[in-house]
Amino acid sequence: MGETLETIRKAIRSNEWTRPTAGHAEGYVQTNLVILRKPLAFDFLLFCQRNEKACPVLDVTDAGSYIPALSAPEADLRTDVPKYRVYENGVLTSERNDIKDLWEDEFVAFLLGCSFTFEKALMDYGIPVRHIEENVNVPMYHTNLPCHESGIFKGNMVVSMRPIPAKDLAKAVQITARSTKSHGAPVHIGNPESIGIKNVSSPDFGDAVTIKEGEVPVFWACGVTPQAAAIASRPDLMITHAPGHMFITSLKDTDVTI
């Protein structure tokens, strides 16, 4: 828990660390990673821009560069993610701890904000985050909320759910609204069916969590959305982080809140 950014990045780079990153290098922004070849980069960046709640862009590399110059200039995106996934034509073909031998001059890497930033903010304000309390993955669901299309990229929004005590709802909205690079304010509060979720205790990804008496299910746009849209479009080659095995930037949470 008490690792410095330098220590944990070095451990990840040397493949000593291949575990999930949640709760580590606290205070530093963690991100989702999507790598595509240049010919798809404009349409994907535009997909993110058109659906920015689900796909908050934190940094995009210049074609061929594995250095995220704005968010972590001393990092190397070929080695500094604990676990990568390689998709060919939309099919997961391998998991690896580095992608040095796969790197191409045409690669463009997208770093997209994740929910860790706003979860820490919620907890700082004393609002419980159930899946962290229960030590499981956040529950995620397909919805009937269509994303704006861009080129080959399309799909419905995927959302994550956190049960929030009714008395804290307004506070939870205000706190997360400030984290615009971390999905921002909720997309829906209260009625799962109205966004196409039939059974909130049976998530499509992640794990179910307890909803206690007096709590309301609150739904936020989820970073799985762009990855799902990218996979569905079946690009020749796409590389992502493995779920939970995020890239840790050199940005502090406070850098992306204001």
Told to check if 256 binds a second copy by CB under 8 A, we report: no
Told to check if 12 binds a second copy by CB under 8 A, we report: no
Among 27, 90, 146, 151, binds a second copy (CB under 8 A): 151
Told to check if 167 binds a second copy by CB under 8 A, we report: no
Which of 12/121 has CB closer to a second copy?
A: 121
Provide the terminal-to-terminal Cα distance of the chain, rounded to the nearest Å.
26
- Least distance from a second copy to the Cβ atom of residue 254, Å: 15
Q: DSSP readout, 9-69?
A: HHHHHTTS--S--TTSSTTEEEEEEEEEEHHHHHHHHHHHHHTTTTS-EEEEPPTT----T
Which of 17/247 has CB closer to a second copy?
A: 247
x/- contact string, 90-129, with a second copy (CB under 8 A)? ----------------------------------------
- Least distance from a second copy to the Cβ atom of residue 101, Å: 26
Told to check if 254 binds a second copy by CB under 8 A, we report: no
* Beta strand pairing call for 215-221 and 247-252: unpaired
Phi-psi region of 216 (alpha: psi -120 to 50; beta: other; left: phi over 0): beta
Which of these ranges, 131-139, 144-152, 188-196, 243-251, lies near a second copy under the rule CB under 8 A?
Answer: 144-152
The position carrying tokens 């058109």 is 50
- Least distance from a second copy to the Cβ atom of residue 95, Å: 29
Within 35-74, which residues bind a second copy (CB under 8 A)?
Answer: 38, 41-42, 45-46, 49-50, 57, 60, 62, 69-70
Q: How far is CA 215 from CA 32, 130, 131, 142, 169, in A?
A: 29, 11, 14, 21, 9
Measured CA to CA, the distance from residue 150 to residue 148 in angstroms comes to 7
Q: Which H helix or E strand runs over 220?
A: strand 215-221
Count the helix, strand and coil residues of the chain and give each as a percent rounded to the nearest 5. 25, 30, 45
Told to check if 22 binds a second copy by CB under 8 A, we report: no
**Residue type at 238?**
M
- Least distance from a second copy to the Cβ atom of residue 117, Å: 17
Residues that bind a second copy (CB under 8 A): 38, 41-42, 45-46, 49-50, 57, 60, 62, 69-70, 148, 150-151, 177, 180, 185, 258
